[in-house]
Structure 1
Amino acid sequence: MNTIDQQHLTGERALFKSNNLIVKNSVFEDGESPLKESRNLDISDSIFRWKYPLWYCENVEVSNTTLLETARSGIWYTNNIAITDSIIQAPKTFRRGKDIRLTNVHMPKAEETFWNCENITLDNVQAEGNYFAMNSKNITAVDFSLSGNYAFDGAENIEIHNSKLISKDAFWNCKDVTVYDSVIIGEYLGWNSTNLRFVNCYIESEQGLCYVENLVIENGKIINTDLAFEYSTVDVSVNTTIDSVKNPISGTIKAKNIGELIMEEAEIDPTQTRICLMEAYEKMTVLANN
């Protein structure tokens, strides 16, 4: 492989259509698309300062590298890319790419990032920005943290472990989502989605989890959440009190208690939903023992 070491690269398409190239200790600036349509790249300890650095690329390894904010829209139509121990400050990174792996990556300006991508793996990634991962498929995230609204809108086949999401309108219009051992905070969680499953999760969401087909919550905590489950089919088991529940379509809700239960016969058939309140059961057991 050819090597570029400690170079200052400028001008449009500075290394256009490179193949089998090592780039290290280098800076790209003042020129769009420096590595457009390149293949088999190994990039390390470098800085990208300009727009569109890695478009239409294949087989890319990036480590200890920084994409500054001015390197916006940086990685589009690129397949098989792995980025480790790096900072991606640029917004709108990753569009219509496949086989993307990020490990130990910080994304402080991740607005409109990961749109229409497939096969994404995130391991110890921190991201801040709205509209993260819209319309993307096959996403696995572990030790992931996100602060930004409208996350995962329209996404499919998502599995998340041990993560923290602060996001209004997260998981809207989604299909096949499973979240384990995570914290999710934000209004209107999960509307208009199919097959949402939360296992050992802590959830806080005003009017959360409405219009969901096949909502499953296992061993969860739901706090400060009102008007939950409206027009949803549910299999919910939580060990906290739910502030209020409104018009679930069918299924089972097990909770410590429900502050307010709204079941409007003009809207739904209340007999289709089974409610089991553990606090009430415990009180009845105590009375029976007395």
Structure 2
Amino acid sequence: MKKYTEQRFTGERALFQVSDLEIENCTFLDGESPLKESKNLDIRKSMFQWKYPLWYCKHVSVTDSTLFEMARAGIWYTDDLKMKNITYVAPKGIRRCHHVALENIVFTDATETLWNCDNVSIHGMSAKGDYFAMGSSNMEIEGLTLDGNYSFDGCKNVTIRNSHLLSKDAFWNCENITVYDSFVSGEYFGWNAKNVTLINCTIESEQGFCYMENLVMKDCKLLNTNLAFEYSTVDVEINSNIDSVKNPIHGRIIADHINEIIFDNDEMKPEDTTIIQRKQ
């Protein structure tokens, strides 16, 4: 395998269509698409400072490296991507990629990042930016700290564990989502989603959980949550009070106490939903 060490690359497509290459302590300066259409790359301790560094690539490992602000739209249409110990400053990173493994990643600008990817594993990530992971599928996530609204819009088959999400409008239009042992704060959680399960989670969500089909919650807490479950089918067990519940379609709601139960739509029948309050 050929190796480049301590080199600087400039100009468009500086290493176009290379294969079987080790890159260590190198810097990619101005010049678009330096590694476009390359395969079998082992990149270590390197810096990317310009746009589109890894497009249409296959079998790429990147460790202990940095993508700077101008490495915008950095990794698109790439398959079999492994990244570990990365500082990723540029927005719109990692789109339409397959078989992605990310470990110990810091995204300082995760705006429009991880869009339309498939088969993604995340272990340890801090990300700040709106529209994170839109349209992606088959994701396994452990230890994500996210500050960004509209996250996971349109995602399918996602499991999240031990994470902390500050995200208005999280999980809209989703299907088959399971979240364990996590905290989510943000308005309007999960609208128009299907088959969402939350286990041992704490959620703060003004007017959350509406227009949802098959919402399951077990051993969860709801903080500052009002007008919840409108037009949703539910099976929820809440270990806290709920500020208010409005117009659920049918199912079961168990909570310590519900301050207000609202049925103001004649199509929603109170008898179709079993509501149990542990503390009257």
TM-score of the pair, normalised by structure 1: 0.96
CA deviations 1:168-201 (Å, max 9, x no partner) are 0000000000000000000000000000100000
Residue of structure 1 equivalent to 2:28? 28
Query: Which one-letter code corresponds to 1:191 in the other structure?
Result: W
Q: By how many angstroms is 1:263 displaced?
A: 1.6
Residue of structure 2 equivalent to 1:286? none
Residue of structure 2 equivalent to 1:160? 160
Residue of structure 2 equivalent to 1:287? none
Q: By how many angstroms is 1:255 displaced?
A: 0.1
Q: Distance in 1 between matches of 2:133 and 2:143?
A: 16
Residue of structure 2 equivalent to 1:109? 109
Is 1:249 the counterpart of 2:268 in the alignment? no
Higher percent of residues as helix: 1
Distance 1:212 1:64, change over 3 A: same
Residue of structure 1 equivalent to 2:81? 81
Given that 1:264 and 1:270 are in contact with CA atoms closer than 8 Å, whether structure 2 keeps it comes out as no
TM-score of the pair, normalised by structure 2: 0.99
Residue of structure 2 equivalent to 1:186? 186
Query: Which one-letter code corresponds to 1:14 in the other structure?
Result: A
Q: Distance in 2 between matches of 1:186 and 1:267?
A: 29
Residue of structure 2 equivalent to 1:46? 46
Residue of structure 2 equivalent to 1:264? 264
Residue of structure 2 equivalent to 1:100? 100
Residue of structure 1 equivalent to 2:235? 235
Q: By how many angstroms is 1:264 displaced?
A: 2.6
Residue of structure 1 equivalent to 2:56? 56
Q: Distance in 1 between matches of 2:140 and 2:209?
A: 21
Q: Distance in 1 between matches of 2:4 and 2:265?
A: 71
Q: Distance in 2 between matches of 1:111 and 1:264?
A: 39
| Secondary structure of the corresponding residue to residue 16 of structure 1 | coil
Q: Distance in 2 between matches of 1:201 and 1:69?
A: 34
Residue of structure 2 equivalent to 1:222? 222
CA deviations 1:139-185 (Å, max 9, x no partner) are 11101110000000001000000000000000000000000000000
CA deviations 1:234-265 (Å, max 9, x no partner) are 00101100000000000000000001000235
Is 1:175 the counterpart of 2:168 in the alignment? no
Q: Distance in 2 between matches of 1:44 and 1:95?
A: 22
| Secondary structure of the corresponding residue to residue 59 of structure 2 | strand
Unaligned 5+ runs, structure 1: 281-290
Residue of structure 1 equivalent to 2:273? 273
| Secondary structure of the corresponding residue to residue 207 of structure 2 | coil
Give percent identity, aligned residues only.
52
Q: By how many angstroms is 1:229 displaced?
A: 0.2
Higher percent of residues as strand: 2
CA deviations 1:13-38 (Å, max 9, x no partner) are 00000100000001001100000000
Q: By how many angstroms is 1:267 displaced?
A: 3.1
Query: Which one-letter code corresponds to 1:55 in the other structure?
Result: W
Given that 1:16 and 1:34 are in contact with CA atoms closer than 8 Å, whether structure 2 keeps it comes out as yes
Query: Which one-letter code corresponds to 1:93 in the other structure?
Result: G
Q: Distance in 2 between matches of 1:34 and 1:27?
A: 11
Query: Which one-letter code corresponds to 2:61 in the other structure?
Result: E
Residue of structure 1 equivalent to 2:151? 151
RMSD (Å) for aligned C-alpha atoms: 0.6
Q: Distance in 2 between matches of 1:267 and 1:68?
A: 54
Distance 1:265 1:111, change over 3 A: closer
Q: Which runs of 4+ in 1 moved over 3 A?
A: none
| Secondary structure of the corresponding residue to residue 227 of structure 1 | coil
Q: Distance in 2 between matches of 1:12 and 1:108?
A: 26
Given that 1:118 and 1:138 are in contact with CA atoms closer than 8 Å, whether structure 2 keeps it comes out as yes
Structure with larger Rg:
1
